[in-house]
Amino acid sequence: MYSKKVMEHFTHPRNMGKPKEYDAVGKVGNPVCGDVMYIYIKVKENRIVDIGFETMGCAAAIATSSMVTELAKGKTLEEAMKITRDDVAESLEGLPPIKMHCSNLAADGLRAAIMNYKKKREKEQDKTT
């Protein structure tokens, strides 16, 4: 049912857990549907220097979370914002059609984290000016 790549990321997730230090978190999903993802990012000079995730969900949810952290790590915020759900699915050598919609939330989680980071920065800048 799942590709080898999905199973590899599911059984050996990269960047798992909440990093010790992070600047923002993106929370997506709904426990009623079974999939919830928290994507944590640490940003330095506009670049994602550390990233981690916590996910409750099926194998596809865990694998996509793991993959999005790999894709985003080291990227600038602008580059990371461009990562799509399809990019994640393609990097995993595809997902079963039924999982494309419900469990493929990781790119949304990453974007939510970046947006939250930007909002935080704006607020901080408002305070200092």
Q: Nearer Cβ to other proteins, position 27 or 120?
A: 27
Catalytic residue among 12, 30, 33, 84: 33
Helix axes 4-11, 59-72, angle to 10 degrees: 90
Q: How many CA atoms lie within 13 A of 55 on its CB side?
A: 30
Q: Point out which residues bind other proteins (CB under 8 A).
A: 2, 7, 10-11, 13, 16-17, 27, 31-38, 54-62, 98, 102-103
The distance of closest approach from Cβ of residue 110 to other proteins in the complex, given in angstroms and rounded to an integer, is 15
Amino acid at 59: A
Q: How many CB atoms lie within 10 A of CB 54?
A: 15
The distance of closest approach from Cβ of residue 78 to other proteins in the complex, given in angstroms and rounded to an integer, is 27
Closest to 115 in 3D by CA, of 51, 21, 26: 26
Q: Nearer Cβ to other proteins, position 97 or 123?
A: 97
Catalytic center residues: 33, 102
